[in-house]
Each structure stands twice: as structure tokens, then as C-alpha cells.
Chain A
């Protein structure tokens, strides 16, 4: 009997060990899969930008987008990952209440040298650091891609890469540390909730782009002497629209990476998925709301524009406008908010254009304005929800005031560095391409290849 009991205990122990291994591999694979899905976002932005460029700038737009991705990964490895863990409590770099922040903690896990290097490279006992780093590095690449489209056809390549590094490996990371970390001061003190990063990724990137656009100026020919704007059509609308659809596909990777899976030592719960703040949620909730947001955004934009470019941009706006609360919105409400964002999109973009801002793809409107719209609307509809793991009173709750403060902080974290760094680049001659190169096209000026060496036919409407 005792022998059988001991055998049973051994079997239970073996089953527990097997279960733990399965869970660990599942968690590792879960975040690993989010990474190629987020690379699809980048592929989408690449197609989107190249299609929105005129023929003479097609490859140049592609080169800068590809370079943004290439520089974002190492610079996020060198500094961005450390910034995320060091800054949650603010500029003091002190440890927060959960003990997973501050300069000392960041230096123990996020530097590529010394003892910390064990968490920044192959480690048989660490199945988490690499995939978390990868997911965050791809969030960083997404911010750079968001800015990239706004600046096409007149920005210098290296100047752009420097701006991308500042945005992707510093500006948005500070926003994430403050508002997307359980120790973040915006979360602990103001109850800021931005589950899907409407503010800390989209609004930061959009406002960063606005700061750059002010110094960069419009493309030659965009505005007439009386201040009215001309339409500068890209050379390939289908490529742009397919690019936008790819971004939507990639968003599922982006959003799945916003979830903390259960059952690991670093998980918030042994049984329940959680947001990055530790609040409980499910992937099913995300599925309901994300799909309704995409549909709502498309429909809202279609009602107002009937234009496939704005319809797909509306899909993005639908997700972004609801991203802050995709974990807790009801799908019907998601649909309403997303529809309103889709409908508002083109009028808002026209308003920005009338103010002399030549945002070639509407990035500031889609990501910046709609991002803030989403952050603030969560304060309207989600007030009272605990913003962290615990009960109201023990932890801060979501409120309109908190969301407005968060929105202002995110806008400033984008705009100020974008404006300042682009101003410096302008002063040293690294921001805008010379007029002659812009007129002739950036591809013949500096790209040793042709987008369409055999030419490209005009569409039926243009040739008739």
C-alpha cells in the first residue's frame, strides 16, 4: 500500500513538472508568435508608405521604413529596455511598490553587460526575457513606422533614422514606463488605464510626428499661394490599402502581446490572463472588441468618405479609439466608439491639413488625435474600474481626470522630443532634402534601384 502511495506521489510530481514545462513553453511561444505578427504591422506600413509615395519616391520611402526597423531593434536592446524598467516611478529612478522598477532593478536585468547580461542573451533558465524584449522592441518599431508615413517624400534618411531612435527607444518607452507598468506613476497615482496603448504608443508617435512635421514643412506643391491644399496622390492606391489591411492583421499580434499569460513565476495570476497592469482579462474579450472595433471604424469612415483609403484608415482608427479599454469594453460600445472615430477621421485630417500640416498619410490624425480620443473616452465610460490588481481604495481607479492627465502627458512626451530633435536636425542640415532632389525625386537622387524599371501604366480614369 505504501509502495503504491509513493508511486502515486511520484506520478503526481511528474505530472506537475510536465504541466509546468508545458505552461512555460506555451508562455514563451505565445509571445514569440506575437513578434512575427507585429512584423506584419511593419510590412503593412512599408506597403502603405510606398503606395502613398509618388513613383519618383517609392523606394526611398521603403528604404527609410526598413532602416527604422533595423535600427530600432539594437537601440532598444542597448537602452530602450533599460529605460522601460528604470523610469516607472518618474525621474527619480526609484523602486516602485511592486519592486519591479527603478534604476537598480533595470540595471540588474536589462543591460547587455556584467551580471545583467544573463537576462539579455541565451539562458536555459530564462524563457521570458527574450520574448518580452522582442515584443517590446516591436512595439518600438511600430512607433517609428507610425511616424515614418507622415514624413515621406522630403525627409533625409539618416535624419529620419535618428528621429526614429529617439521616438522608439526613448520617448514612447518613457510613456510606457509611466502609464503601462504596474509601478508607473500614472497608474498608481492617477489610475491611468491604456491596455492596448492608444495613448502611449499611438498618441505619442502621432504627436512626435506632428512636432517633426512643423519643422519639416510641407512637400513642394502641397499648398497654393492662398493657403489652399492640393491633393498629392500616391502612385499605388491598392498597395496602400493592402498595407493598411496588413497593419490590421499585425494588430492582433500587438494586442496579444499586451496580455500577461497565467501560470508562470512572473505572471499576475496562476489561473487568469491579465493586462500589463495585472487586472484580469481574457483573450476572448479582446477578440470580441477588436473585431467590433475594426468593423465599426470601417463603417464610420465609409459613411463619410466612400473612399477605400479612409475606410481602411477607419479600421485603424476603430482599434486605436478603443484600444485603451479593449479588455473591459462591451462590444456594442466598442462598435459605437469605433464608428464615431471612423466618421471623424477625414474631417479631422482635413482640419489638420488646412492648418498647413502636410501629413502625407494622416498619421497624426489617425494615431495622435484618435489615440487621445480613445484614452479620454475610457475615462468617460470606464470610471470606477480598479486600475491595478486590488480593490478601489487599495489601488487607484480609472477616472476621467486621470485619463485626461494621461492624455496630456502622452501628447507632451511625443510632441516635445519630436519638435526639439527635429529642430536641431534642421539647424545642422539633416532634416529636409534639398529642393532639387525633392523635385527630381528621391529615388533617382540616392537609391541605386528602380521601383518599376519597365514603367507603370496609368489607370483607365487617368488615361481617358
Chain B
């Protein structure tokens, strides 16, 4: 989280410069993104099947 280096300055910066660089947070963010995609597919499929059933029962 926050500025990834000890001194909050742009001077001498020559590489990665994103929030969480150098720690575990990039991996955590990536893992959460994967979980979001998997969940959306699971929930999306459930909703889609419910819509088909509701339509058939009309």
C-alpha cells in the first residue's frame, strides 16, 4: 500500500512504481481479481439458469 519506497520522492526512480510493489499486495490483488472472475461466472451461470427456468414455467 502507498508509495513503495522509503523516501517519498520521484528523484532517482528507475523501475516499478506501483502501489504495493516489492511486497505481497500485487499478488493479493491479482488473486482477488481471479476470484472475482470465477465468482462472476459461477453467479452468472446460476442467474442464467434461473431465467431459463422462470421462462419455461411462464
Q: A residues touching B (Cβ–Cβ < 8 Å)?
A: 71, 74-75, 78, 112-114, 117-118, 120-125, 156-159, 161-162, 429-430, 433-434, 436-437, 440, 445-446
Contacts and interface: CB of A to CB of B under 8 A. Distances in A.
Contacts of B56: 434, 436-437
19 contacts: A112-B30, A113-B27, A113-B30, A114-B27, A117-B27, A121-B16, A121-B26, A122-B17, A123-B15, A125-B15, A157-B44, A157-B48, A158-B44, A433-B52, A436-B55, A437-B52, A445-B51, A446-B51, A446-B52
A22 B28 CA distance: 36
Contacts of B31: 113
B27 A74 contact: no
B21 A161 contact: no
Interface in B14-58: 14-18, 21, 24, 26-27, 29-31, 33-34, 37, 41, 44-45, 48-49, 51-52, 55-56
Nearest to B15: A125
A158 B31 CA distance: 21
A118 B27 contact: no
Given A74-B34, A113-B24, 13 more contacts: A78-B34, A113-B26, A118-B21, A125-B15, A157-B48, A158-B44, A161-B41, A434-B55, A437-B52, A440-B55, A445-B51, A446-B48, A446-B51
Contacts of B29: 112
A15 to B, nearest CB: 22
A427 to B, nearest CB: 14
Nearest to A435: B56
B52 A123 contact: no
Contacts, number: 78
A434 B26 contact: no
The B interface, classified by DSSP as helix, strand, loop or mixed, is helix
Given A122-B18, A436-B55, A112 B27 contact: yes
A71 B38 CA distance: 10
Contact of A124 (B14, B34, B49, B51): B14
A121 B23 CA distance: 14
Most B-side CB within 10 Å, residue of A162, A429, A446: A446
A75 B29 CA distance: 14
Nearest to A111: B30
Nearest to A157: B48
Contacts of B1: none
B30 A78 contact: yes
Contacts of B34: 74, 78
B13 interface: yes
Contact of B16 (A118, A162, A429, A434): A118
A445 B52 contact: yes
Give me the 5 closest cross-chain CB pairs, A-B, nearest first.
A113-B27, A112-B30, A118-B16, A158-B45, A117-B26
A156 B14 CA distance: 48
A121 B44 contact: no
Contacts of B18: 121-123
A414 B56 CA distance: 35
Nearest to B16: A118
A445 B55 contact: yes
Nearest to B30: A112
B21 to A, nearest CB: 7
B24 to A, nearest CB: 8
A426 to B, nearest CB: 14
A122 B18 CA distance: 6
Nearest to A446: B51
A437 B54 CA distance: 10
Nearest to B54: A445
A71 B37 contact: yes
B30 to A, nearest CB: 4
A120 B21 CA distance: 11
B55 A162 contact: no
A40 to B, nearest CB: 25
Given A117-B26, A125-B15, A162 B41 contact: yes
Contacts of B15: 118, 123-125
Contact of A123 (B16, B33, B37, B49): B16
Nearest to A120: B26
A122 B51 CA distance: 42
Nearest to B10: A124
B44 A78 contact: no
B27 A121 contact: no
A71 B15 CA distance: 29
A114 B26 CA distance: 7
A430 B27 contact: no
A13 B2 CA distance: 37
Contacts of A113: 24, 26-27, 30-31
A157 B24 CA distance: 35
Given A74-B33, A78-B33, A122-B17, A112 B52 contact: no
Contacts of A123: 15-18
